[in-house]
Amino acid sequence: MTTDLNSKFWSNFSKKYWEKKPLALKNIKSPVVAIGEAEIFELLILFSNKCRKMDDPAGFKFYIDGEQISKMDVLQILPISNDKNLLGYHQRMNKMFSDYCLVCDELLQVSTKYKDHILEFTNSLYQHVGFPNQFTEIGLYLGNYKKTPFGVHVDSCGVFSFPIVGQKKFRLWTTEFVNKNPKLDRAFEYSKYKKNSEIVSARVGDMTYWPSTSYHIAESDGQFSATWSLGVWIDKSFQKTFSENFEELLGQESISTINKPMTELKKMPLASGEVLDLPESYSRSIQALKNLTSTELQDHFLKCWMKHLSLEGFKKKIQTDFEKLTLKSKIKLPNLKTKIIWKNSFANKNVIYVAYQGNFLEISKTSGLFNLILDLNKGVICQISHYLKPAELNIFNKSQLRFF
């Protein structure tokens, strides 16, 4: 039986499973199924080559018999093209290590090639459960390890897991149970707690999910397996997000005392304990905020929201080296599902706010740049000279709104 991850599925999922209980599905029908062993190996090689070039294995962790090795040692055992595939890499590692685990985060940082498949999945999820204030992160676990190297643990993210080689089995406990049995946290030996756990397992083509509150550990008989996952981090409240945006607003208002570590005061409280008044720095800050109009406040929070929304829920934008455009350049959006988003300013209807992959720009509604953005979003191949004058091109090149 096949489970179609359509709108009906996501509606039911959001009501019955999201942040409530685990789920295991067989033979899912979703674009993410197309991201298999070959596709992950391709991304893994790109990421490994990038790390070797930068002499920095950031994003990779490697465990031998449950012990994490040093960062620089990781560079020596990353996959190479000659491995041909994940099984080839495993055969090379298996000759050296009887129990190893390679962990890789953020494979999308090196390529947008398979981003479409993931976006269809995540956008469908977000439509029903909301957009993450934090982010969604892609992870990869592979090896012949018998248990997750860091023991029973809980993350601040709901996890969707997709095996691409072998079988994956996860043992889960509720937070309530672990709170009553704290020795289970980070444990490797937990036989007496097994009866209180739940097992979810999956093979290639299947999917498992568990909430952010589930303590879990992967188990194996030592056979090679590889699984990639989507972790939707939910450890950032709207209050925290709003506070950060508000703090940014205060900084933009250039209040002179905003970064001072000490608050000036004229007099200490009276002998009776009475506080005489607010310090002058508070009064100036309050006045600066009073001077802001409601539309100016809306504009500020709109800018913050657009920058966050333009990342499409991912941790950060893809790092790519770009060349500067010239008037002769022809460009198009590489992915029409990833639009350049825009909105009129609340305060000035002649100003357009534009965001793309975390970058932000303010432009005139009558500028050629706005027409360029509209045509790019339609899928048009655009020659720069048809839209921009040299001065506008210079603004565009400096903006880092780059997408070709």
- The DSSP symbol for 215 reads E
Same structural domain for residues 54 and 104?
A: yes
The answer to whether position 134 is within a domain reads yes
Distance CA 381, CA 387 (A): 12
The answer to whether position 286 is within a domain reads no
Same structural domain for residues 323 and 361?
A: yes
The residues with which 351 forms a beta bridge, in sequence order, are: 364
Alpha-helical runs (H) found in 99-180: 115-129, 175-180
Same structural domain for residues 245 and 198?
A: no
Same structural domain for residues 185 and 249?
A: no
Domain of residue 366, residue span? 238-253+292-399
Alpha-helical runs (H) found in 185-279: 238-252
Same structural domain for residues 242 and 191?
A: no
The answer to whether position 93 is within a domain reads yes
Write down the pLDDT at residue 363.
Answer: 92
The answer to whether position 160 is within a domain reads yes
Q: CATH number for the domain including 49?
A: 2.60.120.650
Write down the pLDDT at residue 253.
Answer: 61
* Closest alpha carbon to 101 in 168, 21, 16, 28: 168
Same structural domain for residues 13 and 73?
A: yes
Give the residue carrying structure tokens 């937990």: 190
Taken in order 330, 331, 332, 335, the sign of the CA dihedral is positive
The answer to whether position 266 is within a domain reads no
Write down the pLDDT at residue 250.
Answer: 77
Same structural domain for residues 229 and 349?
A: no
How does strand 225-233 pair with strand 330-331? unpaired
Same structural domain for residues 316 and 331?
A: yes
Which segments in the chain show pLDDT lower than 50? Answer: 403-404
Same structural domain for residues 226 and 307?
A: no
How many domains, the chain? 2
Whether 140 contacts 59, CB under 8 Å: no
* Closest alpha carbon to 214 in 196, 228, 227, 202: 196
- The DSSP symbol for 6 reads S
Write down the pLDDT at residue 404.
Answer: 43
Same structural domain for residues 229 and 302?
A: no
CB neighbour class for 148 (10 Å; exposed up to 12, middle 13-18, buried from 19): buried
Whether 343 contacts 306, CB under 8 Å: yes
Write down the pLDDT at residue 317.
Answer: 64
